[in-house]
């Protein structure tokens, strides 16, 4: 099934400059990274199962929606969004996104976010530390359309890889930490994501990934280290 997805992915984009994505997949040495990238191809093959779907969607929509769809496909689009964080940390973010590069269907976007929540710093307690997190994330993906998805109201699909990092302030009375004073929290994270987008620029998205977190002072990082994270959220492209 994965091999069929790859073949479909190549055929779907043979007239674009996005073959660099396929090349990138097979250049990866790690099995884990290959599986993630191949999974993105599979997601795209399932949802964008017609190579001419973008054209079909636009031609089947009312004239007013066609204009909006074409504006969206131009995707010099800014976005604002909110999301919920689950996993080793719990909380919420607000974000602002903008494109860094668009070439054919390929998109390289950047997101700046600020959020807060709770994390577990001590093994003998549960979600004992509050945090305020400032983060940046870059995504690398393709924007495609699907007549199948349009029946559910989602005219466009945007599978992507992401990599990012963050810097945070902590508050924990037990560990004598307060916002604005050391130690500080930092993290690096990577994973996969997917936007389910309407013709009017509304999007529901999810992200799944993991990374590494620590504190700036040695010996104060408690049980921090490797973590997994799931994001569920909403974006509006304009």
- 199-209 pLDDT, tens per residue? 888 999 999 99
The rounded mean pLDDT for the chain is: 76
Q: How far, in Å, CA of 169 to CA of 131, rounded?
A: 6
pLDDT, residue 79, reads 94
Q: What is the pLDDT of residue 15?
A: 43
As given in the structure block, the two tokens for residue 237 are 């492209």
Answer whether 170's CB lies under 8 Å from 129's CB.
yes
Domain enclosing residue 222, as ranges:
70-237
pLDDT 10s digits, 18-68: 444 454 445 555 555 556 556 555 555 554 444 344 444 445 555 544 454
The answer to whether residue 36 sits within a structural domain is no
Is it the case that residue 145 has pLDDT exceeding 50? yes
Tell me if 51 is assigned to some domain.
no
Distance CA 125, CA 219 (A): 18
Q: Is the pLDDT of residue 115 over 50?
A: yes
What is residue 63's three-state secondary structure? helix
pLDDT of residue 104: 81
Give me the mean pLDDT over the 185-208 stretch: 93
Residue 158 domain flag: yes
Average pLDDT on 2-10 reads: 48
The total domain count for the chain is 1
Q: Is residue 35 part of a domain?
A: no
The answer as to whether 199 is a domain residue is: yes
pTM (global) more than 0.85: no
Residue 152 lies in a domain: yes
Higher pLDDT, 104 or 138: 138
- Eight-state DSSP code of residue 171: E
In a domain, 65, yes or no: no
Residue 144 pLDDT greater than 90, yes or no: no
- Residue 170 sits in a domain of what CATH number? 2.40.160.20
> Rounded to the nearest 10 degrees, what angle do helices 31-47 and 2-12 cross at?
60
Task: Give the per-residue pLDDT at 125.
Answer: 75
Q: What is the dihedral of CA 201, 155, 71, 79, to 10 degrees?
A: 30
Q: Distance between CA 193 and CA 213 in Å, rounded?
A: 20
Residue 74: exposure state from Cβ atoms within 10 A (0-12, 13-18, ≥19) = exposed
Scored b (16 or more CB within 10 A) or e, 105-140 reads: bbbebebebebebbbbbeeeeeebbbbbbebebebb
> What tens digit of pLDDT does each residue of 66-114 get?
454 445 555 558 999 999 999 888 999 999 999 999 888 899 999 999 9
Asked, for residue 175, whether it belongs to a domain, the answer is yes
């Amino acid at each position: 099934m994965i091999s069929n997805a790859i073949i479909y992915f190549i055929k779907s984009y043979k007239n674009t400059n996005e073959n660099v994505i396929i090349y990138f997949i097979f250049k990866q040495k790690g099995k884990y990274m290959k599986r993630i990238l191949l999974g993105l191809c599979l997601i795209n093959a399932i949802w964008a199962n017609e190579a001419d779907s973008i054209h079909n969607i636009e031609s089947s929509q009312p004239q007013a929606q066609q204009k909006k769809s074409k504006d969206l496909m131009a995707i010099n689009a800014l976005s604002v969004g909110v999301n919920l964080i689950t996993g080793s940390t719990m909380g919420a973010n607000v974000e602002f996104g903008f494109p860094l590069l668009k070439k054919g269907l390929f998109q390289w976007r950047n997101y700046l976010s600020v959020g807060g929540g709770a994390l577990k710093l001590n093994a003998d307690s549960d979600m004992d530390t509050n945090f305020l997190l400032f983060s940046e994330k870059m995504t690398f993906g393709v924007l495609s359309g699907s007549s199948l998805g349009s029946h559910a109201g989602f005219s466009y699909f945007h599978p992507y890889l992401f990599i990012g990092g963050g810097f945070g302030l902590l508050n924990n009375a037990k560990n004598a930490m307060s916002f604005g004073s050391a130690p500080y929290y930092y993290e690096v994270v990577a994973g996969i994501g997917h936007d389910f987008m309407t013709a009017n620029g509304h999007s529901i998205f999810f992200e799944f990934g993991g990374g590494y977190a620590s504190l700036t002072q040695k010996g104060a990082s408690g049980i921090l280290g490797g973590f997994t994270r799931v994001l569920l959220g909403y974006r509006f492209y304009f």
